[in-house]
């Protein structure tokens, strides 16, 4: 089924991803807050630790045929995250959230681990989403990896909309 996304879907996807990461961190005892700062979206302190994370959240919503496409991150995002973390005395992290039609995957990892996994390209970095890479992420102790399976059991149809209004 072809889906026509709303004109604000990218913004809504980003807000959802930030809220999802905040929720998940909070659920596991992290003190965290959403921030409006160039380079990072969340500041979080690990439970029973002095370690503070400055997290840049990147997200995508994939359509049929694009599910395994990599998530591209412009190289300047790494410098912006590092500058923000230097200003707030925290360690730079990235959180990646990808909606792959019936599954939402979220990853949280240190920025240096991201760069170790895949060197930056000329213009952008590629976070790979093909099945063989997902398996590698599951085995990497530096990566928090969360999957959410979902299904839409009922949705608006032409008949439902016309009959109600």
Residues 36-90 pLDDT 10s: 999 999 999 999 999 999 999 999 987 776 778 889 999 999 999 999 999 999 9
Domain 9-164, CATH? 3.40.1350.10
Q: Where are the domains of the chain?
A: 9-164
pLDDT of residue 163: 53
Structure tokens at 108: 């949280």
pLDDT for res 156? 79
pLDDT of residue 21: 98
Looking at the predicted structure, is the pLDDT value of residue 3 above 70?
A: no
Q: What gap in Å lies between CA 113 and CA 115, rounded to an integer?
A: 5
The whole-angstrom separation of Cα 127 and Cα 72 is: 6
CA trace torsion 84, 14, 133, 103 (10° rounding)? 150
Segment 92-115, tens digit of pLDDT: 999 999 998 889 999 999 999 999
Structure tokens at 50: 């002095």
pLDDT the model gives residue 165: 47
Closest to 39 (Cα-Cα) out of 77, 72, 74: 77
Q: How far apart are CA 148 and CA 162, in angstroms?
A: 33
């Amino acid at each position: 089924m072809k889906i026509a996304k709303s004109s604000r879907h990218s913004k809504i996807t980003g807000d959802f991803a930030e809220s999802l990461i905040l929720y998940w961190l909070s659920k596991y005892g992290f003190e965290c807050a959403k921030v409006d700062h160039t380079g990072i979206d969340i500041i979080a302190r690990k439970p029973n630790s002095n370690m503070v994370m400055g997290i840049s959240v990147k997200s995508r919503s994939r359509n049929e045929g694009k599910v395994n496409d990599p998530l591209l991150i412009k190289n300047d995002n790494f410098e912006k995250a590092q500058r923000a973390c230097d200003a707030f005395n925290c360690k730079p992290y990235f959180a990646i959230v990808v909606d792959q039609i019936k599954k939402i995957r979220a990853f949280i990892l240190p920025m240096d681990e991201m760069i170790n996994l895949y060197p930056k390209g000329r213009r952008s970095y590629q976070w790979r989403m093909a099945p063989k890479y997902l398996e590698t992420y599951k085995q990497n102790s530096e990566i928090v990896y969360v999957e959410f399976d979902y299904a839409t059991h009922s949705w608006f149809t032409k008949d439902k909309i016309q009959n109600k209004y």
